[in-house]
Amino acid sequence: MKSKILVALQFFIIFLMILPLGTPVKHLYLGLAVLALGLVIGLLAVKEHKRGNFNIRPDIKENCELVTSGIYAYIRHPMYLSVLLSMFGVTLIYFTYYEFTLFMMLLITLLVKLFYEEKLWKCHNPAYIEYRKRTKRLIPFVF
């Protein structure tokens, strides 16, 4: 149930963020560049998954495999990074306190989701503990 709530909250915040409601554009090209970077990272992450292995919820699917190749060799949660960068791009395009507040809410939601997922992986697959030692969560070489 927790994972369904986190995913619903994530998508609700994203929905609110992409409704600029007549807000003037502030940093269009910078925002589009950050958004595009986020999309590229997301595509690189999806490319590494075998069919049926991808899951939008943090729950561990039955018969899933731990992906450690490609972008996953550097960060454990490239899809979360993809969402954060893409939505930060939207925040830059329509830069207001409202957008920034929503982005911070999304960041917190995704961090809660990330830590929850890591807790599940530690219990599900002993190889995850070794994988954690070699990689960072979201930002290569940093966090």
pLDDT digits (tens, 9 = 90+) for 102-133: 999 999 999 999 999 899 888 778 888 889 89
- pLDDT of amino acid 99: 93
140 lies in some domain: no
Domain count within the chain = 1
Q: Would you tell me how many other CB atoms lie within 10 Å of the CB of residue 130?
A: 11
Q: What pLDDT sits at residue 10?
A: 96
Range of the domain at 76: 2-53+64-134
Residue 90 resides in a domain: yes
Predicted pLDDT of residue 3:
85
Q: What is the C-alpha separation between 139 and 120, in angstroms, rounded?
A: 21
Average pLDDT over residues 28-36: 97
Report yes or no on 37 lying in a domain: yes
| Max CA pair span of the chain | 50
Please give the C-alpha separations between residue 134 and each of 48, 57, 78, 85, 131, in angstroms, as whole numbers: 18, 24, 15, 23, 5
Expressed in percent and rounded to 5, the helix, strand and coil fractions of the chain are 65, 0, 35
Q: What is the pLDDT of residues 59-98, one digit of tens each?
A: 776 777 888 899 999 999 999 999 999 999 999 999 999 9
Q: Which two tokens stand for residue 55?
A: 């899951």
Q: Give the model's pLDDT for residue 100.
A: 95
Q: According to the model, what pLDDT value does residue 57 have?
A: 78
Distance CA 78, CA 88 (A): 15
Q: What is the pTM of this model?
A: 0.89
Residues paired with residue 75 on neighbouring β-strands, in sequence order: 136
Q: Band of the pLDDT at 52, cuts 50, 70, 90?
A: low
- Residue 58, in any domain of the structure: no
Has residue 97 been placed in a domain?
A: yes
Measured CA to CA, the distance from residue 75 to residue 93 in angstroms comes to 27
Within a domain: 19: yes
